[in-house]
């Protein structure tokens, strides 16, 4: 049974712990007086971040957990403050006593520690990487994020679904369409409605266009981190063209505000011509890159994640599929009917993750052709029903899971698990047979979101 997420809700007399698996959702209740739960990390190691987050957010105690350090709370976060409890209403916090964070480390003769981040040379959000090194060899890596917690879960409480949408779609900009589609599916569940086929095809087209932008960007940056800058120039040019096409279709480069319930005009002839030109450029790019042996010397056998480890750490998306896991939320009749082909590799290295992106990019172009339709369908939304709703979307990074509880017409609890939240936890497993100079390459081959990871 595949683990997906674990989170908490506050109830009248205690907490409800929700554990989401592939085939079922389990719930348990604990009282405020003794909020103690059993860990599930012995079977599902990726649950540890979820459990540590519950500890920070609600003060829930995880019995027998192998790691009880704070996750979201930084060194000066005040003791006894749990921001997702209903009685927490503070707008500002006073700094608490400084409590050093004890990093995992390997000790021994000739072993030393290397700290990378949280501030980086690139224009990226903060993230910390702590290495134990023996010379150039990476012995262990600990990933530590959560430097820019925005309080989104708390912020959305009390808002309507429409009021929440501008915030939800901006959680992680390179997955904006995916977040909006998760939101859309929850709206449809709450109003007991189905989406007209024409709107479903338009939204699917935008999701594949978003995937195209992200994959083109990665296909340029991954070779760049192996010292081949020409690929970055080519990939960036194609990604920029795709970003401008997104703006043409939606009014925004990141597609903000584009998933709604009214179909809008698309110049199908012009868009088809652009897709043809893009496919030609991608095929040229592929032939060019494949024929550079020195590049593949860096890609092949670097950053290996085995099938067994990929499953053990509950990985999703490109990371999972490159290791042989056939896991994709597009495996359904609608997508198969419109040309979806499952991409898969088995070597689990940088090269496999690069090849997966090439396969998926060409498949996205093919599907976008099939999603084109001149139809101006409009869905009039009906009355919203209170309840608990869940949705999934295959973002450009992997499976996105969202849960929203509606009470009295507004959000009682918002929870989202970005694919990066589980994939970041598997990154350390990929490092153990490589040198520290390979870290940027391995990290970029996964290309995970900092923003989606840290709400």
Least confident of 21-35, 106-120, 203-217, 244-258: 106-120
Strand partners, 333: none
Confidence class for position 376, pLDDT limits 50, 70, 90: confident
Confidence class for position 76, pLDDT limits 50, 70, 90: very high
Mean pLDDT score of the chain: 95
Identify the architecture of domain 153-446 in CATH: Orthogonal Bundle (1.10)
| Helices (H), ranges, 32-137 | 47-58
Where residue 117 falls among pLDDT bands split at 50, 70, 90?
confident
Residue 121 scores a pLDDT above 80: no
Burial of 115 (0-12, 13-18, 19+ CB in 10 A): exposed
Which of 260, 162, 163 lies closest to 206 in space, CA to CA? 260
| Band (377; pLDDT cuts 50, 70, 90) | confident
Identify the pLDDT of residue 124: 81
Residue 197 has pLDDT above 90, yes or no: yes
Question: Stretch 425-444: mean pLDDT, rounded?
Answer: 92
Q: Which pLDDT belongs to residue 373?
A: 83
Compute how many other C-beta atoms are within 10 angstroms of the C-beta atom of residue 43.
10
| pTM over the 0.85 mark | yes
Q: What pLDDT is attached to residue 170?
A: 97
Give 3's Cβ-side CA count (13 Å radius): 25
pLDDT value of residue 8? 98
Residues 349-370 have a mean pLDDT of 98
Tell me: the pLDDT tens digits for 387-417? 999 999 999 999 999 999 999 999 999 999 9
**What does the pLDDT look like over 203-227, one tens digit per residue?**
999 999 999 999 999 999 999 999 9
CB burial string 401-424: b at 16+ within 10 A, e below = bbbbbbeeebbbbbbbbbbbbbbb
* pLDDT (0 to 100) of residue 362: 98
* Pick from 37-46, 104-113, 197-206: least confident: 104-113
Examine the pLDDT at 364 and tell me if it is beyond 90. Answer: yes
Rounded-to-integer distance, Cα 376 and Cα 378, Å: 7
* pLDDT on residue 407: 97
SS3 of residue 220 by DSSP? helix
pLDDT value, residue 374: 73
pLDDT band at 241 (very low <50, low <70, confident <90, very high): very high
pLDDT of residue 231: 96
279-326 tens-digit pLDDT: 999 999 999 999 999 999 999 999 999 999 999 999 999 999 999 999
Provide mean pLDDT across the span 364-382.
89
Across the range 168-180, mean pLDDT stands at 96
58 pLDDT exceeds 90?
Answer: yes
Domain boundaries, the chain: 1-102, 103-148, 153-446
Express as a percent the part of the chain with pLDDT over 90: 88
Given this model, what pLDDT does residue 18 score? 98
**What string of DSSP letters covers 290-339?**
HT-HHHHHHHTTSS---HHHHHHTT--HHHHHTTT----TT-SHHHHHTT
pLDDT tens for each residue of 224-240: 999 999 999 999 999 99
Average pLDDT over residues 40-60: 96
* Amino acid 307: pLDDT: 97
Angle at 216 between CA 214 and CA 222, to 5 degrees: 95
pLDDT computed for residue 419 by the predictor: 98
């Amino acid at each position: 049974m595949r683990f997906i997420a674990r989170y908490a809700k506050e109830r009248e007399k205690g907490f409800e712990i929700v554990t989401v698996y592939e085939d079922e959702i389990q719930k348990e209740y604990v009282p405020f007086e003794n909020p103690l739960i059993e860990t599930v990390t012995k079977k599902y190691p990726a649950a540890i971040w979820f459990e540590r987050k519950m500890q920070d957010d609600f003060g829930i105690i995880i019995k027998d957990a192998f790691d009880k350090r704070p996750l979201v709370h930084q060194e000066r976060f005040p003791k006894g403050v749990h921001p997702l409890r209903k009685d927490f209403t503070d707008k500002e916090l006073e700094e608490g006593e400084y409590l050093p964070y004890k990093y995992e480390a390997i000790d021994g003769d000739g072993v030393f520690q290397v700290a990378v981040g949280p501030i980086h040379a690139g224009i990226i959000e903060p993230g910390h990487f702590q290495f134990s090194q023996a010379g150039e060899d990476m012995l262990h890596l600990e990933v530590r994020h959560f430097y820019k917690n925005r309080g989104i879960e708390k912020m959305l409480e009390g808002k309507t679904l429409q009021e929440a949408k501008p915030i939800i779609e901006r959680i992680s900009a390179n997955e904006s369409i995916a977040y909006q589609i998760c939101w859309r599916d929850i709206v449809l569940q709450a109003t007991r409605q189905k989406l007209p086929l024409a709107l479903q095809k338009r939204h699917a087209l935008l999701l594949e266009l978003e995937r195209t932008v992200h994959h083109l960007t990665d296909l340029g940056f991954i070779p760049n981190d192996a010292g081949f800058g020409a690929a970055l120039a080519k990939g960036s040019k194609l990604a920029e063209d795709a970003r401008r096409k997104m703006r043409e279709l939606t009014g925004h480069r990141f597609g903000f505000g584009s998933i709604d319930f009214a179909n809008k005009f698309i110049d199908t002839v012009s868009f088809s011509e652009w897709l043809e030109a893009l496919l030609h450029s991608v095929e040229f790019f592929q032939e060019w890159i494949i024929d550079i042996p020195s590049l593949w010397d860096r890609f092949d056998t670097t950053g290996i994640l085995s099938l067994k480890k990929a499953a053990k750490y509950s990985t999703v998306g490109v990371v999972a599929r490159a290791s042989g896991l056939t896991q994709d939320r597009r495996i359904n009749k609608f997508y198969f009917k419109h040309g979806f082909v499952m991409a898969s590799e088995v070597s689990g290295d940088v090269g496999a993750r690069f090849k997966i992106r090439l396969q998926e990019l060409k498949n996205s172009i093919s599907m976008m052709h099939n999603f084109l339709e001149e139809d101006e369908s409009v869905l009039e939304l009906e009355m919203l029903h209170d309840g608990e709703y869940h949705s999934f979307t295959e973002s450009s990074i992997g499976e996105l899971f969202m849960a929203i509880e509606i009470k009295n017409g507004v959000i009682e609890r918002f929870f989202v698990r970005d694919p990066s939240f589980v994939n970041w936890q598997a990154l350390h497993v990929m490092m153990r047979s490589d040198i520290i100079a390979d870290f940027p390459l391995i990290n970029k081959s996964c290309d995970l979101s900092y923003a989606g990871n840290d709400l």
